[in-house]
Amino acid sequence: MNKEKRLQILTRLRDDNPNPTTELNFSNPFELLIAVLLSAQATDVGVNKATGPLFAVANNPQAILDLGLDTLKNYIKTIGLFNTKAENTMKTCQMLVDLHGGEVPEDREALEALPGVGRKTANVVLNTAFGWPTIAVDTHIDRVSNRTKFAMGKNVVEVEQKLLKVVPAEFKVDVHHWLILHGRYTCVARKPKCGSCIIEDLCEYKDKVE
Ligand code: SF4
């Protein structure tokens, strides 16, 4: 895909949704970190249902530690893989207290050192809590980027690198959200809704579904 088409796609996505953000509910960087940590292989809606009551009683690392592992599990038991996620959350909270004064570090290496936090989660936190121009590539972004030929790559890391290279600076902070939302609601996995897609004329997918 050429530069001009990419620019048109980004401009259209921005015009359609000028201030995109995550669908996870959060009110501080810590809540976002925990919500993202819990969201692996789960829906944002499912995570929000659990974190609403949880954050109402505990929305900082020490408060979660004070709840204890069993109580935490009880709050998040509706989320897939909750046992492992609860254990990682407790360990992460302990590290935040011990190493970072109870704050979420604005630092990739420090974030990725937290249990249960990988490159994608670190990218989301740096982008959405701190405004960094990072691009967290998940399954939706991977699919949309490859299908449209906007930024092709064999895996999420290659797609991330390509996106970082081809997306102009003014769009970088928000492109993650635009592509995720586009993949979640329009360019869906099985039967993309090409007939109602706002970038249909620019997309280079060969098997469009009308
Ligand atoms: S035209 Fe179809 S394949 Fe292309 S981005 Fe839109 S929904 Fe996806």
Q: pLDDT tens digits, residue range 159-182? A: 999 999 999 999 999 999 999 999
pLDDT confidence of 209, banded at 50, 70, 90? confident
93 assigned ligand-binding residue: no
Has residue 210 got a pLDDT over 90?
A: no
C-alpha R_g of the chain: 18
Question: What pLDDT, on the 0 to 100 scale, is given for residue 126?
Answer: 97
Ligand 1 in reach of 192 Cβ (< 6 A): yes
Domains of the chain, start order: 3-20+135-196 (1.10.1670.10), 29-128 (1.10.340.30)
What is the tens place of the pLDDT at every residue in 25-77?
Answer: 999 999 999 999 999 889 999 999 999 999 999 999 999 999 999 999 999 99
Ligand 1 in reach of 143 Cβ (< 6 A): no
- As a whole number of angstroms, the distance between CA 178 and CA 86 comes to 30
Ligand 1 atom nearest to CA at 186: 7
- Concatenating the DSSP letter of every residue in the chain gives --HHHHHHHHHHHHHH-SS---SS--SSHHHHHHHHHHTTTS-HHHHHHHHHHHHHH--SHHHHHHH-HHHHHHHHTTSTTHHHHHHHHHHHHHHHHHHHTTS--S-HHHHHTSTT--HHHHHHIIIIIT--------HHHHHHHHHHTSS--SSHHHHHHHHHHHS-HHHHHHHHHHHHHHHHHTS-SSS--GGG-TTTTT---TT---
Cα 181 to ligand 1 centre (Å): 13
- As a whole number of angstroms, the distance between CA 6 and CA 9 comes to 5
197 assigned ligand-binding residue: yes
Residue with tokens 């936090």: 117
Mutate to test the pocket of ligand 1, among 1, 13, 149, 197 (most ligand atoms within 8 A of CB): 197
Cα 65 to ligand 1 centre (Å): 45
Cα 120 to ligand 1 centre (Å): 24
Task: Calculate the average pLDDT of the chain.
Answer: 96
Mutate to test the pocket of ligand 1, among 16, 200, 202 (most ligand atoms within 8 A of CB): 200
Check: CB of residue 159 under 8 Å from CB of residue 141.
yes
Average pLDDT over every residue of 117-145: 94
pLDDT confidence of 107, banded at 50, 70, 90? very high
Cα 6 to ligand 1 centre (Å): 14
Ligand 1 in reach of 147 Cβ (< 6 A): yes
In this prediction the pTM is 0.90
Ligand 1 atom nearest to CA at 147: 3
Question: What pLDDT, on the 0 to 100 scale, is given for residue 41?
Answer: 87
